[in-house]
Chain A
Amino acid sequence: MTLDNMNKPYVWIVDDDDIYQYTITKTLEIENVTHDVQVFSDGETALESLQELAGTGSGLPDFILLDLNMPIMDGWQFLDEYQNFPDIDTIKLFVVTSSVSEADQEKVKSYPSVQDYVVKPVDIKALKQLLAAS
């Protein structure tokens, strides 16, 4: 791990789709735009990690890319709980989903902690810009 890498963002992927998990991590690796990537297959495990880290002030991600459509705890339920955590101000959360439903896009706007709504497939250039903007 180079020093250069330390300045790059730490990203959480919260998504149950293993092909997406594969393509996004692979792309981030190839593009070399992240310091580290952590993958969660559902909202519940991501939330558990957040719970452990909250208040310690360290180990929190710089970015969360959150899917909406997941088993056990979906993106909405995750967001409902997420709002209540301390220290999330430093985290940039993007909803990344294959849903093009207008209702979903509108609903996302009611969560102030969400930066933006991104429709899959994720454009690599846009993703790079997004992560560089930190």
Chain B
Amino acid sequence: MSTTQEAFSDFKDPSLFRNILEQSLAGFWIWNTQTREAYLSPSFKALFGYEELELEGSAETWQKLVHPQDAHLIEKAIGDHISSNGEIPFKENARYLHKNGSSVWIQCTGKITQRDEEGNPLIISGAHIDISEYKTQESHLKISEERFKGAFEHSAIGMALVSTKGRWLKVNNKVSQILGYTKDELLKTTFQDVTHPDDLNLDVNQLGQMLAGEIKTYQMEKRYFHKTGKTVWVNLSVSLVRDTDGLPLHFVSQIEDITLRKESLQKLEAAITEKEGLNLKLKKQNTKLADFAHIASHNLRAPVSNLQALMNMHKLLEAGQERDEIFGKFEVVLEHLTETLNELVDAVRINNEAKEARLVPLSFSSVFERTKQILSGDILNKKAHIEGDFSEAPEVKYLPSYLESIFLNLISNALKYSSPNRIPSITVYSRINDGRVSLHVKDNGLGVDLEKQGAKLFGLRKTFHKNKDAKGIGLFMTKTQVEALGGRIYAQSEVDKGSTFSIDFNDA
């Protein structure tokens, strides 16, 4: 006899057997189907909180312990086992009542272990195992699963499980509603397929960072393409689910449709931009009107009041030499008035012309050469040194007559207000900045104190030097022409050092 067999025969020793049974967590029972006597092991009684002596071994005790609602389950399972003559195994889960009133989930198993002389079942024995903990976990799991499922399906925002490669694994109704695809259609695609290409990189980069464990979640505003092709704006929040070993399982995406919000915002922004543009235009027009009113008031009122004063004097005086003198003054004032009116008419004409102006490409150097010819007498008289450099921006699209007048005015001003203490030196050059062409006329002349005179530099009939030729028209007309075509004119100057007049042409 081998040692194993010896041990096995020892195992058949009832006391040893009983010992093992009592140490196990299971409770054991033996039932005589005919006498209805029963043996319930101490561990059986302990399952329900009873001491060995508190319960007697009988079918009635079992009846008392089993939960009234579950008794039929056990009865049926035993019945099936018996009637099938042991073919159908007896295994059933049922609730029992603990001494303290709580329920205990029990897995009941048993088997016919002895038959009578006719072969009918006599003894059935089996085990009860406490499965309450397992049942509780199971029910918790079931509840949380159902809760998740409910939250997932009925969420007000789109929810999706997405594979680490980007395939849609599970989507709720809202996602199909946002993207316009049925669930089945979506599950055949990846999120990359329906993402706007401009937003794809950022999205993919962040998924990568999450897989690498660098970030836990991320949120972004992005665009998807709806099945119809239109753009859908969403607010996307993504987190990653990992298994117990920390390996990535899948992403959980929350997708909120913000298209309406985005579109309203864009419309609002567009409206604001439009309004700002309109305001700016109105402001410019208002400024022009105010300028014009100012010019009219200053430049027309002065000669008219002079006429009035002369008229009054004329009345005061007797006929004679003095009256003739006054008459001569009338002529001067009227001439002055006519000139001013003509200038104002010119200014209005410039603004009207500019509205329908056809701009043509003009060469700076050829306009410069023509201007030098026109001013050759002055240049010669003053022995002025004058040079042009238009290599950086050789051309500008402009109205020919305006560009000629701009060159003429700025260069003749530079000559007129040259310093008697040095040889006049004038440099004319063009620049290009952000596609915008500018012209600059720099001299070493008398200069102007811009702090004092700057605001009036380009006004009509403003002069800043005791120069008998000064009429104050040139810069006013130049400004009118430049602004009528959407550009601007400005100056830098230092008294007795020189000035630079600059024009930024319109970039249109």
Contacts and interface: CB of A to CB of B under 8 A. Distances in A.
A72 interface: yes
For B309, B313, B329, B472, the residue with the greatest tally of chain A CB atoms inside 10 Å of its CB is B309
Interface string B464-501: 11100010100000000000000000000000000000
Contacts of B308: 121
Contact of B329 (A19, A24, A100): A19
A34 to B, nearest CB: 16
A69 B302 contact: yes
For A73, A98, A101, A120, the residue with the greatest tally of chain B CB atoms inside 10 Å of its CB is A98
A72 B10 CA distance: 132
Interface in A56-99: 69, 71-74, 77, 98-99
Interface in B302-335: 302-303, 305-306, 308-310, 312-313, 316-317, 329, 332-333
A124 B312 contact: yes
A98 B464 contact: no
Nearest to A68: B298
Given A100-B301, A101-B294, A72 B313 contact: no
Interface in B390-419: none
B195 interface: no
Interface residues of B, number: 28
Nearest to B310: A23
Given A73-B452, A120-B301, A30 B310 contact: no
B305 A121 contact: yes
B69 interface: no
A100 to B, nearest CB: 6
B259 interface: no
B170 interface: no
Contact of B309 (A27, A72, A100): A27
Interface string B449-475: 000100010000011111000101000
Interface in A1-43: 17, 19-20, 22-24, 26-27, 30
Contacts, number: 70
A132 interface: no
Contacts of B329: 19, 22-23
Contacts of A130: none
B297 interface: yes
Contact of B301 (A24, A27, A72, A99): A99
Contacts of B302: 17, 20, 69, 98, 120
For B305, B313, B317, B332, the residue with the greatest tally of chain A CB atoms inside 10 Å of its CB is B305
A38 B93 CA distance: 126
B51 to A, nearest CB: 109
B306 A23 contact: yes
A87 B305 CA distance: 33
A77 B452 contact: yes
Interface in B251-302: 294, 297-298, 301-302
A50 B43 CA distance: 125
Contacts of A122: 309
A35 to B, nearest CB: 21
Interface in A99-126: 99-101, 120-122, 124
A101 B296 CA distance: 11
A19 B306 contact: yes
Contact of A98 (B305, B316, B332, B462): B305
Interface in B50-97: none
B261 to A, nearest CB: 47
Interface of A: 17, 19-20, 22-24, 26-27, 30, 69, 71-74, 77, 98-101, 120-122, 124
Closest 5 pairs (CB-CB, A-B): A120-B305, A23-B309, A121-B305, A121-B308, A98-B301
20 contacts: A17-B302, A19-B306, A19-B336, A22-B329, A23-B309, A27-B316, A71-B462, A71-B465, A72-B463, A72-B464, A73-B452, A98-B301, A99-B297, A99-B298, A99-B301, A101-B294, A101-B297, A120-B305, A120-B306, A120-B309
Given A23-B306, A99-B301, A120-B305, 9 more contacts: A19-B306, A20-B302, A23-B313, A71-B463, A71-B464, A71-B465, A98-B301, A99-B298, A120-B306
